[in-house]
Structure formats: C-alpha cells, structure tokens
Amino acid sequence: MNSEEEAALIVAGLPGVDARLMRAIHSQGSSFAAFLDQSPASCPAHLAEPLSAWRRDPDPFRRKAAGQAASLRRAGIRLLPVSVSDYPALLREIHRPPPMLYVRGDVSALALPQLAIVGSRRASRRGLDCARRFASALAEAGFVITSGLALGIDGAAHAGALEAGKTLAVLGCGLDVVYPRQHRRLYQQIPEGGGALVSEFPPGTPARAAHFPRRNRIISGLALGTLVVEAAPRSGSLITARLAMEQGREVFAVPGSIQDPHARGCHQLIREGATLVETVQDVAEQLGGMLSYKAEEAGSDAAAENAAPDGKPGRVLDAMGFEPVDLDTLVRATGLDAADLTGLLVDLELSGYVESAAGRYTRLR
C-alpha cells in the first residue's frame, strides 16, 4: 500500500471526518498525504479541527491505519482513494463520487470500457436469457459488463459476461460479505475471470437496504451506458437508469410485450428518452468507438446461435408469436395433433426457445 492509500485511511479515521469531508479535501486539489502535511491554520474551519487532532497526536491514527492496511492486504483487497490515478476516471466525474473504493480482483478492469446491465430480481426466463445473451455478446465485443450481483437479471448478466470476457460486480456491503448467498459461486468466479468485486463500504459492512441506492450510482457511474432488461415501474433498476441519465451517460432499454408486467419499467424509460434496443449493434453503435466492429462480429455469432429451427419446430414457433398461448390454440394454428405438438413443445422448451407456465406457452426468441 502506497503512502497516499495509507494517508486516505488515516484521514478517514480522524474525528468528524466522513465521506463529505473527504470529498471536500480532494476538491481542494490536495492529495490526502498533502492534507496531513498542512497547517490547521491554512485550512477552512471545517477541516482544521480533524487536522489539529492529527497534529496533536498522530501515532494512534497511524497505528490504526497500518492495522487496516495489513487486514486489506491479507484479504487480497486493494484500496483506491479518489486521489490516485487508478481510481476510475468516469466515476470521479459523478456527483459525490465515493472517496474510497475497495477492490478485489484486477484493478485494471475498472479502466476498461464498461456497460452496465441491470434489471428485475424476479425476472422471467425470457428476461434472464436476454440478459445472458446480451452480456455474452457485448463482453465478446470488448465491453466489461458491470452489474450489482443481485438475483435475477444481474446474475444472468454476470454469468453471460464470464462466458466471453470480464465483469465487475458492485456490492452494497463489504467485500468480505457474500450477498446474496445464492451467488457465492459468481462471487468467486468474477475475480478469477479477470474482473473485480467493488464496494465503497469497508470490509465487515453488512448488506442493508439503504446501501443499494448508493451502490446503484457507482454501477451507472463506472459505465459508458446502462442497459435495462425487465424492470417494474418502481424498482432499483429504474433508479440506476435515472442516475445514469443524470450523470450524462447513455441509457438503453429492451422492450417487451405490452401485456408483460416485467416490461413496463423499460417502456417507461423508452418514453423518457432511453434508446430502444433489439440487438447488440444497437448498443455498440450508440456508444461508438473502436468496439463497434467487434460488436458486429459478436452480433452475427449471436444471430446464428438464435436462428429459429426449421421444419415442424419452426412451424410451431411461427404460430406462437411472443404472447402466451394455450395448447388448444396451437393445435388449431399448426394443424398438428396434440400428442405430436406436445413433444415438439417439450423439445423447444429444453432448447430454450419456449417457456411454459400455467398451461400456456410463450416464445422466448
């Protein structure tokens, strides 16, 4: 740990110092190490008191910071104060950037072009498949996929990105806390795959409801844009998207059926100016840059993967559309007998083309 990182830990431990004061110190153009060298008389009144405490007896603060630094090293966690060059440049631009980030994994991944993918925790199978496929293709195109490690769309996005590239997970707790517990394997795979786990909360901080809006601003702040796949009209995903808009970043939304409650939040975002997205190229072309040609190649691969089957299975899919439909309706539409049609629907469901629920079938792709 270098002197600036140790200085940030010392400053954070001074009496009365919170995130607001740490940002105030940084906004003066001063490093935390330089701040500790200043005279209290040369500082504004709200900074002079903690600095005076340091000057009167620096040893306790230095020992505490040294102990914290040693604990971080043992845990394989890197500290990134807002004042160091490795701190993500895009995140530094947002309103109230975190004064310190804790990172487990490859710190250099934070400097790569990122796209955030977020959405409902209670996602449909279609939404999960969509998030995974977009994340995989966009990771192959060169984007680091950033999300919040939540259940549902977040988890599908991380898993899809790991198939072809890197992903970042921003946590609403300390990096030594696995939340949700169902994602323990993803928690391990993300740094192993060249990505990183990121938090503004120190180790030992539990997951609390109030932490997640703060986490959301980091997700959107790290990324060039945010893609929303399924969201309720009032959800954390929409908060992330609106934060992205406030931060001057691009917002994308995947549309769905007007009958699908999972799609209402995305439709709301589109009405508010988000870009409607149907393909990987829709995202890459909007963001521009050197990644577009890679996205075109990845999108072609995805299109080949998702090409509808021929013959009787294709006939069934053509008859289904993308609205839920019952077996009797499909029998009439396809002209197939019920036994033959049921077998085809089972095969299509196993192949990921169809979802069944409550005796009705929905085409996924």
Tens digits of per-residue pLDDT, 251-305?
A: 999 998 888 888 999 999 999 999 999 988 889 888 865 454 444 444 444 444 4
Q: What is the pLDDT of residue 258?
A: 84
Buried b (16+ CB within 10 A) or exposed e, 269-299: bbeeebbebeebbbbbeebeeebbebbeebb
- The burial of 249, by beta-carbon neighbours within 10 Å (0-12 exposed, 13-18 middle, 19 or more buried), is given as buried
The residue assigned the tokens 């919040």 is 148
pTM of the model: 0.80
Domain 107-304 has CATH 3.40.50.450: yes
Q: What is the pLDDT of residue 191?
A: 98
The structure tokens listed for 204 are 């030992």
Q: What is the pLDDT of residue 333?
A: 84
- % of the chain beyond a pLDDT of 90: 65
What SS3 class is residue 199? strand
Q: CATH for 311-363?
A: 1.10.10.10
What are the start-end ranges of the H helices in the chain? 3-12, 19-27, 32-37, 45-56, 58-74, 89-92, 125-140, 153-164, 184-192, 211-222, 236-246, 264-271, 280-287, 292-305, 311-320, 327-334, 338-350
The structure tokens listed for 190 are 């993300």
- The span from the CA of 118 to the CA of 253, in Å, is 10
User: In this predicted model, what pLDDT tens digit does every residue of 148-178 receive, in sequence order?
Assistant: 999 999 999 999 999 999 999 999 999 999 9
Q: What is the mean pLDDT of residues 21-49?
A: 88
User: In this predicted model, what pLDDT tens digit does every residue of 240-254 receive, in sequence order?
Assistant: 999 999 999 999 999
Q: What's the whole-number average pLDDT of the chain?
A: 88
- The burial of 69, by beta-carbon neighbours within 10 Å (0-12 exposed, 13-18 middle, 19 or more buried), is given as middle
- The span from the CA of 315 to the CA of 325, in Å, is 15
Transcribe 268-279 into DSSP letters. Answer: HHHHTTPEE-SS
Per-residue confidence band for 2, with pLDDT thresholds at 50, 70 and 90: low
Residue 233 has pLDDT above 60, yes or no: yes
Q: What is the pLDDT of residue 264?
A: 93
Pick from 23, 80, 85, 88: nearest CA to 221: 88
Q: What is the mean pLDDT of residues 304-332?
A: 73
Q: What is the mean pLDDT of residues 96-119?
A: 96
Q: Report phi then psi at 356, rounded to 5.
A: -115, 140
